[in-house]
Structure 1
Amino acid sequence: GYGSTEVTASATSMDFEDLSVGGIGAPLFGVKVRLVDWDEGGYKATDVPNPRGEAVVGGHNVAIGYHKLDELTAEAFETSGDGMRWFKTGDIVEVGADGMFKIIDRKKDFVKLQFGEYISLGKVESELKNFPFVDNICVYGDSHRTYLIALIIPNQKALTGLAAQLLNYVESDKLVDLCGNHKIIAHIEKELQMYCQSTGKLHKMEIPLKIMLCPQEWTTGNGLVTPALKIRRKNI
């Protein structure tokens, strides 16, 4: 199933006897889900064979808004002419021939680079999580730059192994020093480019040109990940 706090926990659900994977089911009784075009991402409700777009959830289950956050409420919620409250989820879904929904992307993870390219940060992060030097990753981009930057929590085993090759590494060396070492950073940046070229899953503009190695772990305690261990992009 699928839902969030804004829609009282649940909006869609799989059938009990449906053993397929990857989908989120169909809207629950009394819940409406409509697709809204996201032109920049190339998703339209008129796409064939499967309609695609941002899932906007409506019904009596939708919250009034965020407590004392009027600006955020105005951005995420709306009320239609018939008085129904709607929540803009930011999730891009695809509707199959059987009417089942599937999440395929995240609208709020899109950024626009300096020359107008729209990049799905979630897609880039998903592909780079298999890069040997990555334990966790947050990709950043904005309209003032022509390239992406990857903030990486390094895999310590891979990092210390590299340090042993490039430097006179000893176990007493601090992680913060290794993460700030220009020789290590340059080597990992080069390895990242080679890795992306070998997999062929990212376009040229989707491959980060710069990296930052972060010695501090991202935890719920420091507010950098959610209880579900999803990154809090803005905080990072």
Structure 2
Amino acid sequence: MHITSTKNPQIKHLKQLQSKSKLRVDENSFVIEGVREIEMALTHHYHIVKVFIAEDFYQADLKFEEHTQVIRISSNVYQHLAYRSSTEGIVALCKSPKHNLSHFKTHAENPLVLVLESPEKPGNIGAILRTVDAAKLDAVMIADPKTDLYNPNTIRASLGAVFSNSIVLGSSDEIYEFLNDNSFNMYSATLQNSNSYLSENYKTKTAFIMGSEAYGLTTFWRQKPNIQAINIPMKGQIDSMNLSVSSAILIFEALRQRESIV
């Protein structure tokens, strides 16, 4: 098959998936653009249904499963689909896996996880997932999500780390209950009644809990008696940092204590 019209039903469907979160959620499908990102999805066993290749731009040699349909598209159709300015000539239609707590498994004796409550900015989520991949955390748990995980901006900002991490989606109640039942030491990043993050021990089962960019943590997490509030001391006049930066500081302090990195 060779598609040359932007009005082709398959192309119109891809465009809708790129822009409509509800459709992505309803169909458990999303669009991946770029060689690196598609390769990451393949490496981590995502189910790629169709691949659309513009032969004028495509230079890679990715290997797909037999069930994956490969469709050639013209240059103008690809440019119509392309979300990024780079032109690698490949777009994929992929199925979304399950991300609920029942699918989360770890063999680590003292797992380290990051909990994000209602993060709103896909770019921030993507940046955090890159940090999580770099640190090899056991999981990212997104509580009460406000944006779907496979927003094109999240995929792009993560450089494909959205595919390499163990990610859990659930309500705050579900995630708190899981952490509590499994004897995690929980630390909330908030200024109220908090200790310096450098004064705590993160060598046992640890969960860092981070609030949204706009509102911070809700009272649900701040009022739990078994969650220790921690802060990152700052010298200047600003009393908060970007969510991805704050997360990285806490994560790598935990790794330093665990002697996982030099």
TM score, norm. by length of structure 2 = 0.25
Instruction: Judging by fraction of residues, say which structure has more helix.
Output: 2
Question: Which structure ranks higher in relative contact order (CA pairs < 8 Å, sequence separation ≥ 6)?
Answer: 2
